[in-house]
A and B are shown apart, each in its own frame.
Chain A
Amino acid sequence: MAIFYRRLPKFRYVSPKTVEEALDFLGNHKNKAKVMAGGTDLIPQLKSREIPPPEYVVDIKGIQGLEGISYDGSTFRIGALCTINRIGNSDVIQSHFPSIVQAAQSMASPQVRNRGTFGGNICNGVPSADSAPPLLTLSAEVTIKGPGGERVIPLERFFTGPKKTSLEGDELLIDISIPKPEKGSRGVYLKLSPRHSMDLAIVGVAAWGTYLDGVCTDIKIGLGAVAPTPMRAIKAEGLIKGQKVTPDVIEEAARVAGSECSPIDDFRASAEYRRDMVYILTKRALNRIFS
């Protein structure tokens, strides 16, 4: 166990009002500044001295225009500062992406969901991030701004390792974008954790798919907490897509999902148990969307 201090280490507090102001500051203080959105992960990390104290904490909540959810007819955008509760209570998100709402409501507590953001959850890059598996199944992309301008990359390429992402120290995540889903598509997020609240996923499984006359026309499966990063179960997807959906096909795909992940043993669960649970939850998720 890391030593846990009651008091935060010393740092200076900066509160930029625009994206440009924030980028300027980050550019001039590369590696000395830490960006804070909700702070629900950063503050505990600083108290436990899990990360070296930064010289500056850059609170980006003063930046207008990053807190909402928008839709332009083809793409949904979740701003970097949109809180987990706002997403979990959004009628728009619920009607188009129920698996995102299921993930949001499974996270932490009301107090944390009122502050924490999906953007922060993604940027922390932990393999068990609940927001990641459903977003991966929805082909989400992230918009990043930095000194060189703007870049948009698929969420899958954003995660590079445990607590590692492709976000540079002088860049800011601006939003998470999700293409409009196909009509009739269905999704689900299933989370296994010993407690219903205030607990991390031992395994998280999201699935998203479309189904026409008994044949799967599209399927994506996202897995959390069973690899160095949140991942897609590509091989399992390949077994179902274009096939007539039968109990045998689902069984086989779920088994393959359990074998294509690479979980570790830790104090929450063994690797073997995690593989078994990926199999079980994938089967459950597929049965849920193809019923």
Chain B
Amino acid sequence: MERLNIKVNGKDYELQVKPWATLLDVIREEIGLTGTKEGCGEGECGACTVIMDGMAVNSCIVLAMEANNREVITIEGLAEGDRLHPIQEAFLEKGGMQCGFCTPGMIMSTKVLLDGNKNPTDEEIRKALEGNFCRCTGYTKIFESVKAAAEKMRGEI
């Protein structure tokens, strides 16, 4: 076992983890935050996307030990109490989901995009979400959700 120091959604954890555990395993099974989903398990689909030190990563192909002394934000870290994050509100209002399995990953990739770029072009939105697959929506509603989220975060709606 290895000792892992990690900050998740602002809270510090000191855990004993198996050296072969992925960051996803630890987030879901040790810390108990099951909002992050396991899709393909090999870094193709983006369902497991979390933000590590400000960057989107596929937590299914990052070892837990690679996150030692790092800060991770998961989907649970966005809302403040009962108040949803503007990206979450936008996905709800625009219907940016059907089954919802890809949604946490979509929202985390959107957060990284909008944190760095308040007014992304259509092309920049598509590029930022290129690593997140959705098998239900056809992407149009997700795309509209991201545009609405950007407007909300700029205070336009």
Contacts and interface: CB of A to CB of B under 8 A. Distances in A.
A47 B41 contact: yes
A13 interface: yes
Interface stretch (A38-46, A152-160, A161-169, A213-221): A38-46
Interface residues of A, number: 30
Interface residues of B, number: 31
B56 A110 contact: yes
B66 A61 contact: yes
Contacts of B65: 13, 15, 59
Contact of B66 (A10, A44, A59, A196): A59
Interface in A1-29: 4, 6-13, 15
Contacts of A108: 43, 131
A4 B41 contact: yes
B55 interface: yes
Interface stretch (A111-119, A179-187, A244-252, A275-283): A111-119
Nearest to B64: A13
Contacts of A111: 43, 46, 49, 56-58, 109, 131
A104 to B, nearest CB: 13
Nearest to A39: B61
Given A13-B65, A40-B43, A59-B65, A109 B130 contact: yes
Contacts, number: 86
B41 A112 contact: no
Interface string B111-142: 01000000000000001101111000000000
Contacts of B46: 109, 111
Given A57-B19, A111-B43, 11 more contacts: A4-B42, A10-B20, A11-B19, A15-B65, A59-B66, A108-B43, A109-B132, A110-B131, A115-B57, A115-B61, A196-B130
Interface of B: 2, 18-22, 25, 38, 41-44, 46, 49, 55-58, 61-63, 65-66, 109, 112, 127-128, 130-133
Interface of A: 4, 6-13, 15, 39-40, 43-44, 47-48, 57, 59, 61, 85, 108-112, 114-115, 196-198
